[in-house]
Chain A
Amino acid sequence: LAKTTQPISMDSYEGQEVNITCSHNNIATNDYITWYQQFPSQGPRFIIQGYKTKVTNEVASLFIPADRKSSTLSLPRVSLSDTAVYYCLVAYNAGNNRKLIWGLGTSLAVNP
């Protein structure tokens, strides 16, 4: 059964590094893992995407182990403006179809 699992909530303080892990046991072989950030009353915003090992951009890093059954979004030195909900999005093979499954989201609260 395809499932994308992530912690419901996390708390942090300004300046700390935050790591959010998503579990996706049955990920499709050739698909990417994608992370989004969402603020209240706005659409999700793309953060980062990766297939394996490590990907880094100006906002975050994404770590993916060799078995690809999980991924970890790393936000360096968070600020108050990083308070948001973070979703992982993973593709699974469902018979002849390809299905995108969203995690339930991790609500990150960054405190002063």
Chain B
Amino acid sequence: DTEVTQTPKHLVMGMTNKKSLKCEQHMGHRAMYWYKQKAKKPPELMFVYSYEKLSINESVPSRFSPECPNSSLLNLHLHALQPEDSALYLCASSLDTFNEKLFFGSGTQLSVL
């Protein structure tokens, strides 16, 4: 199984809503990532988890809250988002944080109204 599965595929939320994005991989990878991607731009790193511990937070606003319940799962909790947060949110995994061979999910297309 070489897949990273993300749910939901699409999400529309208001600025006062709380929602969560989910990501799952069963490749035994110990590094997991959240990226944000705007149209016609490269992916922008948000968070990195290494062995289930948060190792990198790229100065992401606190309205985004990551969680890694176990080595296969990664969540991104969303609260009080702004319209400019609308983007494609991508989860990725790799063997470890020193490996640039990333496996990406299909992403969650998020619209904040």
Contacts and interface: CB of A to CB of B under 8 A. Distances in A.
Given A102-B43, A104-B41, A42 B100 contact: no
Interface string A62-102: 00000000000000000000000001010100000010101
B100 A31 contact: yes
A31 B100 CA distance: 9
B104 A45 contact: yes
Contacts of B41: 104-105
A61 interface: no
Interface of B: 4, 40-43, 45, 88, 90, 92, 98, 100-107, 109
15 contacts: A34-B101, A41-B107, A43-B90, A44-B43, A44-B90, A45-B104, A46-B101, A46-B103, A49-B100, A49-B101, A89-B100, A100-B45, A100-B100, A102-B42, A104-B41
Interface of A: 31-32, 34, 36, 41-46, 49, 87, 89, 91, 98, 100, 102-105
